Structure 1
Amino acid sequence: MPAESSESDQLLLDQIQLNLIQGVGPRIRRSLLDQFGTPSQILNAPRQDLLNVPGIGEKLANAIIYRTAKSTAEEELQRCRAAGYQLLFEESDDYPSLLREMPDPPALLYCKGEILPEDELAVAIVGSRKCTHYGLQQAEKMAAALARAGVTVVSGLARGIDQAAHRGALKAGGRTIAVMATGLSHIYPPEHRELSEQVSAQGALVTEFPLDQAPVAGLFPQRNRIISGLSMGVLLIEAGRKSGALHTARHAYEQGRDVFAVPGRIDHPASAGCHDLIRDGAMLVRSVDDVLEGLSPAKTPVKVSENREVHTPRELSLSDFERDVLNLVTLEPQHLNEIVQSSNLDSSRILSTLTVLEMRKVVKRLPGGFLVRATG
Structure 2
Amino acid sequence: MTHTDEKRISRRRLLAMAGASAGASLLAQRPLFADQAEAAPAANKAAGDPQTSFGSLKQIDAGLLNVGYADEGPIDGPAVILLHGWPYDIHSFVDVAPLLVKQGYRVIVPYLRGYGSTSFLSSETTRNGQQSVVAVDIIALMDALKIESATIAGFDWGARTANIIAALWPERCKALVSVSGYLIGNQAAGKAPLPPEAELQWWYQFYFATERGRAGYEKNRHDFAKLIWRIASPKWSFEDAVFDRTAASFDNPDHVAIVIHNYRWRLSLADGEPKYDELEKRLAAGPIITVPTITLEGDANGAPHPDSAVYQKKFSGKYAHRLIKGGIGHNLPQEAPQAFAQAVIDVGSL
| Length-normalised TM-score, structure 2 | 0.32
- More contact order relative to length (CA 8 Å, sep ≥ 6): 2
Which structure is higher in helix share? 1
| Length-normalised TM-score, structure 1 | 0.30
Larger radius of gyration: 1
